[in-house]
Structure 1
Amino acid sequence: MYAMPHGDDLDQRFNELVAQIDAEERRKMRAAAKKGAKTRGAERSPGFGHDARLGMPSERAPRRIGRAWPAVAGITAVIAAAGAVITLRPDLLPAVAGPVPEETMPVVAAPVPLKSLTSPVSTEPLGPFEGSKAESWAEGAAGFDLPEAKAIGGLSKQDVAKGLKRTHKLLAAAFLDRKTILGGRPTAYMDLLHPEARSRFRKSLDRKDSLRGMLTSFAPKTAELVGDVIKVNGRAKLSSYKKDGITGAKVEINYLVAYAIQRPGQPATMTRLVTHNRGTMLMYREGGELVTWVRELGGTATPARCDVDDGYIHPFYDDSAPSKVRPEGPPQDPYDLDAPEFDGECGASEET
C-alpha cells in the first residue's frame, strides 16, 4: 500500500516524473538490460497450414513462440516509476470491458528515488528499433521482396506476375494490417483469399481451433503499436509445383517482422516483438481462372506467452507474471532468418 502525500498536486508530480524519464535515460536502461539479460523462455501460440485443394489444415502446424522469463533490472527504473504513479492514480488505468487480461494489469513496484532520474532532457528522439538488428531492415510492405516473375509450371509470365502481386498483398494483410495486428477482425486478409478458403477461415474464427494463428494478431487489449514503423526482412523462392493433380508455381516465403509494442497506455513497457513467418503460396489455373492459394502459413513470435493457446499472440513483457510453461531446447536468435523451424510446445529464445 502507498500512503498518499499530503498537500501534493498529483497531476503536477506525475508530469514532472514522466518528463524526467527522457529518451537518453531509456536508451541507457535498455542497453543495461541487453548487457545483463538472462535467457528468455519461448512461448507458444499455434499457427496453421492449409491443404492446397481442400482448404483443410495440413499435417504440418507451425508454432508461435516467444520469451517467458522476467526482465533483469536494467529497465526497472522506468517500470517502477510508472508503477508508483499508477498505484497513486488508479484513474490512469485504461478502461477495459469485462475481465482485465493479465497482460494489461498494472505492476506494483517500489517508488524510485528522484536522484536516479536526473539525466538532462534530450531533444533527440530515440527510435524503438535503434541499436537492434532490425534497425537496418526495410519498412513495411517494401520488406516483402518477392522474386521476379517468369514463365514456370505451365503458367505464363503474366500469370505468375499476377499471382506474385496477390501474394504480396496477402503478406501485407497478414502481418502489417493494423486492425488485424491489434486483434480485430482480419477482413483485409479474408478478402484476398480464394472464396473456398475464405469461407473456412471465417467459420474458424469463432472456434477454439481458429486459423487466426496464421496471422500476426495480438490478443485484444494486450498491446498497442509504438509509432508507425514495422520492420521486415526476408526472402522468397519461386519454383514449379506439381502435386495432387495441380500443376503450377509455388512461392516459399521466409520473413522476419519486427514490431515495437507496449501495454496499452503504458510507454514504460515498450518492447520489440519479432515474428518469424514461413509458408507456401500456390499459383495455378482452375477452370480457366488463375488461383492464388495459401498452402500453409505460420511461424513464431518472441516474446509471447506459452501458456495461452487461443490463436492470438499474447505478448510477454518484462514485468509479466512468470509463464506456467517452461521453454525447451537451446536459446534461438529471434533475428536469425535461417534458424531451424520450431516444432515443439515452447522453445527458448534470446533477447529481442
Structure 2
Amino acid sequence: MADKPSDEPRSGSGEEPSVPDEVWEKFLRDHGSAPKEPSARARMVTERLRQQEARGESPAGWRAGPTAAGRNGGPRKGWAVLGVLLAAAVAVVAMKPSLLPGHLFGAGDADPAAASPLPAETAAPTAAPSSADPETPTLARPFAGSPAERWADGEAGIVLPKATALGSVSKDRVELALRRTRKLLVDANLDPKVLSGARPEAALSVLDPKQPALLDDLTTALRAPSEANDPLALFSRFDPKEVKPVGKVVKVRGRITFDKGDFAGVAVHADYTFVYPVVRADGSTEVTRTIVRRVIDAELPDPTRYRTTPGRLNLVRYDEDAGNSSCDIHDGYLHPRFPSQAPADGATPTGPSVDPYDRSRVIGQDDGCGTVSRT
C-alpha cells in the first residue's frame, strides 16, 4: 500500500494535513492502491449533510436515487405497486424460505427440523413413531416419507452403553461382551457383502463354537435354506439377481443393555431395527424399503467355571421380524415388494397388518403371514 506524503502529520497530532486536497486526490488517482480515505473537506461536507438530513433539510436527490418519473414526466404508479408486491414477497419468503427453488435450507417444502437426527434411543419406546409426510422414496432420497429418515446411519446407530463392573464381573469383561455383540450386529446386518448373500464369516467368528448345535444349524441354514433352517433368523441377505441397494446407507435405531448373566458372566440384550432401501436389479428406479427388526440375547460366560471359548458369545435367544418381504419364500433371502408389482401367486396373507417401525411391539410370536401398514 502506498504511503501518504511525508509532510502529513503523524496520527494523533491533532493537525489537519498540510497538503491541499486537490494534490492529495491527484496522488490517489496516480496510485490506485492507496487507501481512499476522505479528505478533511469531504468529512466536513459529509457531516454538514448529515446534520441537514437529521433536521429534514436534505437537498433533493441526496441518497434518494433516481427521480421516480415516467417518460412523460408523470409519476410511475406501476413501479410503486411493484415495490409493494416485492416487499410482500420478501416478507413471505422470510417466513418460509423453502418457497425459493433450490433454497439453502433443503429441497422442496421439506422442513429442515423434521429431518434433524433423533437422539440415541435410551429406553424401550411405548408407541410407534408418528407418521411422516407421505413422500415417495427416490434414488436421491431413499428414506423420504419414512420415520427412518431421522435415524442414524449404519454403525453410528449402534451405540454402546458405558461399561461398568457387575459384582465380581470386571468392567473389562462387560466391555468385551458389549463389543462382541456390536460386532455381531454390524457384520450380520450391515456388511455389504453379507447383504448381497455372502457367507457372514465375521459375524460367525464371535459365536462360541462349543455352544451345542448353534454353528451347525447356522451352517446348514446358509448352505441349504429352508423354512425350518432359515439364515434370515440372524442375518440380513438379499438376492443380488433380484434387487440391489440404493446408496450405501442403512438406517439403524435401537439400544443395547447389559446385566448379570445366568452363567457367572455378562448378559447382553440388543433390540435393533434396520431399514434397507432397494431397487430392482433390472434397472428400474422404483425404490422400496424392507425393514428388519432383531432382538438378541447373548451371554459371555465365565470361562473358569464353564466349558466355553474365551471371548466368544453364547446366543440365548434371537428373533427377527421382517417388514415388506415375502414370507412364503424360504430361499434364505429377503424379497421386498414394490408398489407397482401385482400380488404374487401363493398364500394369501392371513396375519394382521403391522407397523414395521413400531419398536414398542413384541416380536417373536407367530402372527402368520401378514401385511405392513407402511414401508
After TM superposition, the score normalised by the length of structure 1 is: 0.59
**Equivalent residues in 2 for 1:298-337, closer than 5 Å:** 298-323=319-344, 324-337=346-359
RMSD of aligned residue pairs (Cα, Å)? 2.7
Does the 8 A contact of 2:173 with 2:266 survive in 1?
no
User: What does residue 285 of structure 1 align with?
Assistant: 302
- Residue type matched to 2:256 in 1? A
| Deviation of the 1:212 alpha carbon | 1.4
Distance 1:267 1:188, change over 3 A: farther
Match of 1:172 in 2: 186
Partner Cα distance (1:272, 1:203) in 2:
28
1:284 offset after TM fit, Å?
1.4
Residue 187 of structure 2 aligns to a residue whose secondary structure is: helix
- The structure-2 alpha-carbon separation of the partners of 1:251 and 1:153, relative to structure 1 and needing over 3 Å to count, comes to farther
2:268 to 236, 240, 251: 251
Amino acid at match of 1:219: D
Tell whether the 8 Å contact from 1:330 to 1:348 is kept in structure 2 after alignment.
Answer: yes
Deviation at 1:195, TM superposition (A): 2.6
In structure 2, the residue matched to 1:152 is 166
The amino acid across from 1:223 in the alignment is V
User: How far off is 1:290 after superposition?
Assistant: 3.7
1:233 and 2:243 are equivalent in the alignment = no
Q: Is the 8 A contact 2:325 2:335 kept in 1?
A: yes
- Answer yes or no: is 1:272 the counterpart of 2:286: no
Structure 2 unaligned residues grouped into runs of 5+: 1-106, 109-134
CA contact (8 A) 1:237 1:252 kept: yes
Residue number among 219, 225, 238 corresponding to 1:202 in the alignment:
219
User: Is the 2:288–2:337 Cα contact (8 Å) retained in structure 1?
Assistant: no
Question: How big is each residue's C-alpha offset from its partner over 1:243-279, in whole Å with a ceiling of 9 and x where there is no partner?
Answer: xxx2222111111111110111424221111111111
Counterpart in the other structure of 2:49: none
Q: Deviations over 1:22-42 (max 9, x none)?
A: xxxxx99xxxxxxxxxxxxxx
Q: CA deviation at 1:180?
A: 1.0
Q: Which has the higher strand share?
A: 1
Give the superposition deviation at 1:211. 4.6
- Paired residue for 1:183, among 197, 221, 231? 197
CA contact (8 A) 2:277 2:287 kept: yes
Cα contact 1:280–1:294 (8 A) shared by 2: yes
Q: C-alpha displacement at 1:346, in angstroms?
A: 0.9
Q: Cα–Cα, structure 1 residues 316 and 131, in superposed 2: closer, same or farther, change >3 Å? A: closer
Gap change, CA 1:215 and 1:153, over 3 Å in 2: farther
Are the aligned partners of 1:133 and 1:335 in contact in 2 as well (CA < 8 Å)? Answer: yes
Secondary structure of residue in 1 paired with 2:265: strand
Q: Which amino acid aligns with 2:266?
A: A
Work out the CA distance in 1 between the residues paired with 2:331 and 2:278: 20
CA contact (8 A) 2:177 2:268 kept: no
Aligned equivalents of 2:367, 2:271: Cα separation in 1: 19
Q: Is structure 2 residue 315 aligned with structure 1 residue 294?
A: yes
The question of 1:212 aligning with 2:231 is answered: yes
Q: Name the SS of the counterpart of 1:195 in structure 2.
A: coil
Matched position secondary structure for 1:285: coil
The answer to whether the Cα contact below 8 Å between 2:166 and 2:259 also exists between their aligned partners in 1 is yes
Residue in 2 that maps onto 1:340: 362
> What does 1:4-23 correspond to in 2, within 5 Å?
none
Rounded Cα–Cα distance in structure 2 between residues aligned with 1:328 and 1:281: 32
Judge conservation of contact 1:180–1:217 (CA < 8 Å) in 2: yes
Contact between 1:285 and 1:291, CA under 8 Å: does it hold in 2?
no
Q: Percent of aligned positions with the same letter in both sequences?
A: 32
- SS of the aligned residue for 2:374 comes to coil
Give per-residue Cα distances to partners, 1:45-79, cap 9 Å, x unaligned.
Answer: xxxxxxxxxxxxxxxxxxxxxxxxxxxxx98xx9x
Write the distance in 1 (CA, Å) between the matches of 2:290 and 2:222: 24
Aligned residue runs from structure 1 range 46-195, under 5 A? 126-152=140-166, 154-195=168-209
Query: What whole-Å deviation, never above 9, does each CA across 1:115-158 have from its counterpart, x for those lacking one?
Result: xxxxxxxxx98321133200110101111123221112642110
Are the equivalent residues in 1 in contact too, given 2:351–2:367 (CA < 8 A)?
no
Q: Which has the higher contact order (CA 8 A, sep 6+)?
A: 1
Letter in structure 2 aligned against 1:167 = T
CA deviation after TM superposition for structure 1 residue 175, in Å:
0.6
Q: Distance in 1 between matches of 2:139 and 2:335?
A: 28
One-letter amino acid matched to 1:283: L
Provide the rounded CA distance (Å) in 1 between the counterparts of 2:348 and 2:371: 9
* Structure 1 residue 194 displacement after superposition: 2.0
Name the aligned partner's letter for residue 264 of structure 1: A
- Structure 1 residues 272 and 125: CA distance shift in structure 2, 3 A: closer
Answer yes or no: is the 8 Å Cα contact 1:306–1:325 preserved in 2.
no
Tell me the distance in 2 between the aligned counterparts of 1:153 and 1:299.
Answer: 32
Say which SS state the counterpart of residue 301 (structure 2) adopts: strand
Q: CA deviation at 1:200?
A: 4.5
In structure 2, distance between residues paired with 1:192 and 1:137:
27
CA deviations 1:267-322 (Å, max 9, x no partner) are: 42211111111111111122473432222223112211122123321222223342
Letter in 1 for 2:205: D
